[in-house]
Amino acid sequence: MKYLSALIVTLILTSSCSGLQQVTQNESKNTNDTEVVFAETQKEDHPIEISLGEDGTISDDGISLTTEIIYTEAFDHAIFNALLKKYVSENGNVNYKGLKSESKKLQSYIDLIKLHQPTDNWAKNDKLAYWINAYNALTIDLILRNYPTKSIKDIKDPWDQRLWKFGDTWQNLNDIEHKILREMDEPRIHFAIVCASVSCPKLQNTAFTASNLDEQLTNATKEFLADTSKNELSEDNIKISKIFKWFKKDFEKNGSLIDFLNQYSDITISASAKKSYTDYNWNLNN
Protein backbone atom coordinates (compact mmCIF):
# COMPACT_ATOMS: atom_id res chain seq x y z
CA MET A 1 0.00 0.00 0.00
CA LYS A 2 1.21 3.49 -0.82
CA TYR A 3 -0.05 6.91 0.27
CA LEU A 4 -2.08 8.96 -2.13
CA SER A 5 0.15 10.42 -4.82
CA ALA A 6 -2.26 12.73 -6.60
CA LEU A 7 -5.42 14.53 -5.56
CA ILE A 8 -6.99 17.23 -7.65
CA VAL A 9 -9.69 19.35 -6.10
CA THR A 10 -11.40 21.86 -8.30
CA LEU A 11 -13.75 24.42 -6.76
CA ILE A 12 -16.05 26.14 -9.17
CA LEU A 13 -18.37 28.93 -7.98
CA THR A 14 -21.26 29.79 -10.24
CA SER A 15 -24.42 31.85 -9.95
CA SER A 16 -27.92 30.48 -10.58
CA CYS A 17 -31.09 29.80 -8.63
CA SER A 18 -30.92 26.06 -8.14
CA GLY A 19 -29.15 25.71 -4.77
CA LEU A 20 -26.05 23.78 -3.84
CA GLN A 21 -25.00 20.87 -6.01
CA GLN A 22 -22.17 18.45 -5.43
CA VAL A 23 -20.81 16.44 -8.34
CA THR A 24 -18.24 13.76 -7.74
CA GLN A 25 -16.49 11.59 -10.24
CA ASN A 26 -14.34 8.76 -9.01
CA GLU A 27 -12.10 6.68 -11.24
CA SER A 28 -9.99 3.99 -9.69
CA LYS A 29 -8.08 0.87 -10.68
CA ASN A 30 -7.76 -2.13 -8.40
CA THR A 31 -8.52 -0.16 -5.25
CA ASN A 32 -9.40 -3.41 -3.39
CA ASP A 33 -11.64 -2.46 -0.45
CA THR A 34 -10.30 1.05 0.02
CA GLU A 35 -13.24 3.43 0.52
CA VAL A 36 -13.44 7.01 -0.69
CA VAL A 37 -15.66 9.10 1.58
CA PHE A 38 -16.88 12.64 0.99
CA ALA A 39 -18.36 14.41 4.00
CA GLU A 40 -21.56 16.31 3.36
CA THR A 41 -20.99 19.91 2.33
CA GLN A 42 -23.24 22.40 4.12
CA LYS A 43 -24.38 25.32 1.98
CA GLU A 44 -24.44 27.83 4.82
CA ASP A 45 -20.81 27.64 5.88
CA HIS A 46 -19.31 25.82 2.88
CA PRO A 47 -16.90 23.48 4.76
CA ILE A 48 -15.26 20.81 2.59
CA GLU A 49 -13.82 17.62 4.10
CA ILE A 50 -12.34 14.77 2.11
CA SER A 51 -10.91 11.50 3.50
CA LEU A 52 -9.60 8.43 1.72
CA GLY A 53 -10.18 5.24 3.66
CA GLU A 54 -9.75 4.81 7.40
CA ASP A 55 -5.96 4.61 7.19
CA GLY A 56 -5.51 7.31 4.54
CA THR A 57 -3.95 4.86 2.08
CA ILE A 58 -4.83 3.57 -1.37
CA SER A 59 -3.87 0.57 -3.48
CA ASP A 60 -0.58 0.08 -5.32
CA ASP A 61 -2.23 1.02 -8.57
CA GLY A 62 -3.08 4.54 -7.36
CA ILE A 63 -6.23 6.57 -7.85
CA SER A 64 -7.48 9.34 -10.10
CA LEU A 65 -10.00 11.62 -8.41
CA THR A 66 -11.76 14.83 -9.35
CA THR A 67 -14.23 16.57 -7.07
CA GLU A 68 -16.29 19.50 -8.23
CA ILE A 69 -18.25 21.67 -5.76
CA ILE A 70 -20.75 24.08 -7.30
CA TYR A 71 -22.19 26.80 -5.03
CA THR A 72 -25.14 28.74 -6.32
CA GLU A 73 -27.00 31.69 -4.81
CA ALA A 74 -30.68 31.10 -4.05
CA PHE A 75 -31.50 34.47 -5.63
CA ASP A 76 -29.67 36.55 -8.24
CA HIS A 77 -29.32 40.21 -7.17
CA ALA A 78 -27.52 41.25 -10.38
CA ILE A 79 -30.06 43.91 -11.42
CA PHE A 80 -29.84 45.69 -8.08
CA ASN A 81 -26.07 45.30 -8.02
CA ALA A 82 -25.75 47.04 -11.41
CA LEU A 83 -27.92 49.97 -10.27
CA LEU A 84 -25.93 50.39 -7.05
CA LYS A 85 -22.62 50.37 -8.93
CA LYS A 86 -23.90 53.01 -11.34
CA TYR A 87 -25.66 55.40 -8.95
CA VAL A 88 -24.03 55.01 -5.52
CA SER A 89 -20.57 56.44 -4.81
CA GLU A 90 -17.83 54.76 -2.80
CA ASN A 91 -18.80 57.07 0.07
CA GLY A 92 -22.44 56.00 -0.08
CA ASN A 93 -23.84 59.13 -1.73
CA VAL A 94 -26.89 58.25 -3.82
CA ASN A 95 -27.71 59.81 -7.18
CA TYR A 96 -31.50 59.65 -6.80
CA LYS A 97 -32.09 61.72 -9.92
CA GLY A 98 -30.13 59.20 -11.97
CA LEU A 99 -31.92 56.30 -10.31
CA LYS A 100 -35.27 57.87 -11.09
CA SER A 101 -34.33 57.86 -14.77
CA GLU A 102 -33.94 54.07 -14.50
CA SER A 103 -36.85 53.46 -12.17
CA LYS A 104 -38.16 50.71 -14.49
CA LYS A 105 -35.03 48.66 -13.81
CA LEU A 106 -35.47 49.13 -10.07
CA GLN A 107 -39.12 48.10 -10.41
CA SER A 108 -38.11 44.99 -12.35
CA TYR A 109 -35.85 43.98 -9.45
CA ILE A 110 -38.59 44.69 -6.90
CA ASP A 111 -41.03 42.64 -8.99
CA LEU A 112 -38.56 39.74 -8.92
CA ILE A 113 -38.08 39.79 -5.15
CA LYS A 114 -41.84 39.98 -4.68
CA LEU A 115 -42.29 36.89 -6.85
CA HIS A 116 -39.44 34.84 -5.38
CA GLN A 117 -39.56 35.05 -1.60
CA PRO A 118 -37.29 32.90 0.58
CA THR A 119 -38.45 29.37 1.29
CA ASP A 120 -37.71 27.14 4.27
CA ASN A 121 -34.90 25.37 2.41
CA TRP A 122 -32.96 28.59 1.79
CA ALA A 123 -29.82 28.92 3.91
CA LYS A 124 -29.72 31.68 6.50
CA ASN A 125 -27.21 33.74 4.50
CA ASP A 126 -29.43 33.60 1.42
CA LYS A 127 -32.38 34.85 3.47
CA LEU A 128 -30.32 37.62 5.06
CA ALA A 129 -28.92 38.81 1.73
CA TYR A 130 -32.40 38.75 0.20
CA TRP A 131 -34.06 40.82 2.96
CA ILE A 132 -31.15 43.29 3.32
CA ASN A 133 -31.24 44.01 -0.41
CA ALA A 134 -35.04 44.12 -0.34
CA TYR A 135 -35.02 46.67 2.48
CA ASN A 136 -32.53 48.91 0.67
CA ALA A 137 -34.29 48.62 -2.70
CA LEU A 138 -37.68 49.44 -1.18
CA THR A 139 -36.20 52.40 0.71
CA ILE A 140 -34.83 53.76 -2.57
CA ASP A 141 -38.23 53.16 -4.16
CA LEU A 142 -39.92 55.08 -1.34
CA ILE A 143 -37.59 58.04 -1.88
CA LEU A 144 -38.14 57.99 -5.66
CA ARG A 145 -41.93 57.95 -5.17
CA ASN A 146 -41.53 61.20 -3.21
CA TYR A 147 -38.55 62.72 -5.00
CA PRO A 148 -37.39 65.42 -4.72
CA THR A 149 -37.36 65.42 -0.92
CA LYS A 150 -34.84 66.72 1.59
CA SER A 151 -35.36 63.96 4.12
CA ILE A 152 -37.07 60.61 4.48
CA LYS A 153 -38.79 62.10 7.52
CA ASP A 154 -40.55 64.62 5.29
CA ILE A 155 -42.53 61.65 3.93
CA LYS A 156 -45.63 60.72 5.91
CA ASP A 157 -45.12 57.50 7.90
CA PRO A 158 -42.17 56.41 5.75
CA TRP A 159 -41.48 53.15 7.55
CA ASP A 160 -45.13 52.16 7.97
CA GLN A 161 -46.42 52.59 4.42
CA ARG A 162 -47.48 49.22 2.99
CA LEU A 163 -46.58 49.79 -0.63
CA TRP A 164 -45.24 46.42 -1.72
CA LYS A 165 -47.22 43.17 -1.91
CA PHE A 166 -45.14 40.06 -1.25
CA GLY A 167 -47.44 37.12 -1.90
CA ASP A 168 -50.49 37.78 0.25
CA THR A 169 -48.70 40.27 2.53
CA TRP A 170 -48.36 44.00 2.04
CA GLN A 171 -44.90 44.73 3.44
CA ASN A 172 -43.52 47.88 4.98
CA LEU A 173 -39.98 48.77 6.02
CA ASN A 174 -40.67 48.46 9.75
CA ASP A 175 -41.87 44.87 9.45
CA ILE A 176 -38.93 43.85 7.29
CA GLU A 177 -36.49 45.31 9.79
CA HIS A 178 -38.10 44.37 13.10
CA LYS A 179 -40.11 41.23 12.35
CA ILE A 180 -37.81 39.59 9.81
CA LEU A 181 -34.21 40.80 9.88
CA ARG A 182 -33.83 41.44 13.61
CA GLU A 183 -35.34 38.02 14.33
CA MET A 184 -32.42 36.39 12.51
CA ASP A 185 -29.92 37.22 15.29
CA GLU A 186 -27.39 39.08 13.17
CA PRO A 187 -26.67 42.52 14.74
CA ARG A 188 -24.48 43.58 11.82
CA ILE A 189 -27.62 44.03 9.70
CA HIS A 190 -27.89 47.49 11.29
CA PHE A 191 -24.86 48.57 9.24
CA ALA A 192 -26.19 47.05 6.02
CA ILE A 193 -29.76 48.35 5.87
CA VAL A 194 -29.92 52.06 5.13
CA CYS A 195 -32.59 54.66 5.93
CA ALA A 196 -31.56 57.11 3.18
CA SER A 197 -30.08 59.57 5.67
CA VAL A 198 -26.69 61.14 6.29
CA SER A 199 -26.22 59.59 9.74
CA CYS A 200 -27.20 56.10 8.59
CA PRO A 201 -24.51 53.64 7.63
CA LYS A 202 -23.52 54.28 4.04
CA LEU A 203 -25.40 52.50 1.29
CA GLN A 204 -22.95 50.00 -0.19
CA ASN A 205 -22.48 50.27 -3.95
CA THR A 206 -22.70 46.50 -4.37
CA ALA A 207 -25.56 44.18 -3.51
CA PHE A 208 -25.21 41.73 -0.64
CA THR A 209 -24.77 38.09 -1.62
CA ALA A 210 -25.00 34.91 0.44
CA SER A 211 -21.55 33.66 -0.55
CA ASN A 212 -19.84 36.91 0.52
CA LEU A 213 -22.21 37.96 3.29
CA ASP A 214 -19.99 37.53 6.34
CA GLU A 215 -17.19 39.55 4.76
CA GLN A 216 -19.62 42.22 3.54
CA LEU A 217 -21.29 42.61 6.95
CA THR A 218 -17.94 42.77 8.73
CA ASN A 219 -16.61 45.41 6.32
CA ALA A 220 -19.81 47.48 6.64
CA THR A 221 -19.57 47.36 10.44
CA LYS A 222 -15.89 48.32 10.48
CA GLU A 223 -16.47 51.16 8.01
CA PHE A 224 -19.29 52.55 10.11
CA LEU A 225 -17.30 52.48 13.34
CA ALA A 226 -14.29 54.07 11.63
CA ASP A 227 -16.40 56.96 10.28
CA THR A 228 -15.61 59.81 12.69
CA SER A 229 -18.65 61.78 11.54
CA LYS A 230 -20.78 59.04 13.11
CA ASN A 231 -18.63 57.59 15.89
CA GLU A 232 -15.76 59.00 17.96
CA LEU A 233 -13.90 56.23 19.72
CA SER A 234 -11.08 56.27 22.24
CA GLU A 235 -10.00 54.01 25.07
CA ASP A 236 -11.84 55.91 27.79
CA ASN A 237 -14.53 57.87 25.94
CA ILE A 238 -16.91 56.95 23.16
CA LYS A 239 -19.42 59.15 21.36
CA ILE A 240 -21.41 56.77 19.24
CA SER A 241 -24.35 56.65 16.85
CA LYS A 242 -27.85 56.44 18.30
CA ILE A 243 -28.19 53.18 16.40
CA PHE A 244 -26.39 51.63 19.36
CA LYS A 245 -29.00 53.14 21.69
CA TRP A 246 -32.08 52.24 19.63
CA PHE A 247 -31.01 48.63 19.12
CA LYS A 248 -28.99 48.16 22.30
CA LYS A 249 -30.29 44.68 23.06
CA ASP A 250 -29.28 43.43 19.60
CA PHE A 251 -25.64 44.27 20.32
CA GLU A 252 -25.65 42.74 23.81
CA LYS A 253 -26.81 39.21 23.05
CA ASN A 254 -23.27 37.82 23.31
CA GLY A 255 -21.69 40.25 25.76
CA SER A 256 -21.67 43.99 26.44
CA LEU A 257 -21.92 46.76 23.87
CA ILE A 258 -18.22 47.47 24.45
CA ASP A 259 -17.47 43.82 23.69
CA PHE A 260 -19.28 44.17 20.38
CA LEU A 261 -17.51 47.42 19.48
CA ASN A 262 -14.10 45.96 20.27
CA GLN A 263 -14.68 43.15 17.76
CA TYR A 264 -14.80 45.64 14.88
CA SER A 265 -12.95 48.74 16.07
CA ASP A 266 -9.26 49.47 15.53
CA ILE A 267 -9.26 51.02 19.00
CA THR A 268 -9.52 48.89 22.14
CA ILE A 269 -12.20 50.49 24.29
CA SER A 270 -12.14 50.13 28.06
CA ALA A 271 -15.11 48.40 29.68
CA SER A 272 -15.46 51.47 31.89
CA ALA A 273 -15.35 54.00 29.02
CA LYS A 274 -17.74 56.95 29.28
CA LYS A 275 -20.48 56.84 26.68
CA SER A 276 -22.53 59.49 24.87
CA TYR A 277 -24.39 59.69 21.57
CA THR A 278 -24.01 61.79 18.44
CA ASP A 279 -26.85 63.85 16.97
CA TYR A 280 -28.64 62.09 14.13
CA ASN A 281 -28.72 63.85 10.78
CA TRP A 282 -31.83 62.84 8.83
CA ASN A 283 -30.94 64.81 5.67
CA LEU A 284 -31.07 62.79 2.47
CA ASN A 285 -27.92 60.79 1.69
CA ASN A 286 -27.42 62.31 -1.75
Q: Determine the longest span between alpha carbons in the chain, in angstroms.
A: 77
Mean pLDDT over 250-271 rounds to 97
The amino acid sitting at 154 is D
Higher pLDDT, 168 or 41: 168
- Quickly count: other Cβ atoms within 10 Å of residue 147's Cβ: 15
Q: Given this model, what pLDDT does residue 14 score? A: 38
| Domain chopping of the chain, boundaries | 2-71, 78-277
- pLDDT per residue as tens digits for the range 108-146: 999 999 999 999 999 999 999 999 999 999 999 999 999
Q: Indicate the average pLDDT of the chain.
A: 83
Q: What is the pTM of this model?
A: 0.77
Please tell me the distance from the alpha carbon of residue 245 to that of residue 284, in angstroms, as a whole number: 22
Mean pLDDT over 198-212 rounds to 98
Q: Given this model, what pLDDT does residue 237 score? A: 98
If phi > 0 it is left, if psi is from -120 to 50 it is alpha, else beta; for residue 138 that is alpha
Mean pLDDT over 226-244 rounds to 98
Q: What's the gap between Cα 62 and its chain centre?
A: 43
